[in-house]
Structure 1
C-alpha cells in the first residue's frame, strides 16, 4: 500500500479495513513502522485509538507512561487509548514494527514531546 516518510524513518500501510469488534465498528489499521538507527517516535497518546505494538526486527525500548519496557523480537505490547507512549530504536540497524490500531483514526495523536517539532513545522510551511 502507501509509504509515508517520517522524520524517524517511514511508515507503510499494510491493511486498512472496516471491522466490527464487540459492539464497536471502526477502521482496523495495520502499519509497518521502520525506525532508523538511534531514532524515536514522538512521546504521544491517542484519544480514541488503541494499538498493539509487535516487534518484527531490531531492538527497541518502549516508553509507556513513565516506565521503560524492553520488547524482544516476536513479542507485542498493548497500548490503550490515552496511554502515553514512545518507541525508541536502540540499535545501529533499522527496527521494524507492526502497529495494529483499532479504531484507526488518522490524526488522533497528541504529541506530548516531539524531538522533530521544528522539522515538522518546516514541512508545513
Structure 2
C-alpha cells in the first residue's frame, strides 16, 4: 500500500538527501542504544521521520494497515529515541533507541533472534 502523498514537516535539507522506494518509503533499523542489539526493521516516509525526530518516539508507516503507528502506543513496548543517523547512501536510517519490553510483534525482544540461519562452512 502506498504512502499518501502529502506535505511533511521534515527539514528540506534532510528530505533532499533521502532515497525512497517507489512507495516513498525507506527502511529504518532500530538498535538498542547501549548494547548495540539490532531490534527490528520498520518503514518510514518523510512524515514518519519528522515525527520520530520531533517527538522522541519511533513512528513508522505500516504497509499492511496503510497508516502511521507509534511503537508502543498499543503494546506499551515503547522506543525512546536516543539518536537518528542517515546512512552514506541516504537510503536507510539507523534509529538508536531505549526499548521497553519486546521490539518484535511476536513478543520477542528482537525480530532477529528466533531464526538464525546455518552457515555453509
Q: TM-score range by the shorter chain?
A: under 0.3
Structure with the larger strand share:
1
Bigger RCO of structures 1 and 2 (CA < 8 A, at least 6 apart): 1
Structure-2-length-normalised TM-score: 0.27
Structure with the larger helix share:
2
Structure-1-length-normalised TM-score: 0.27
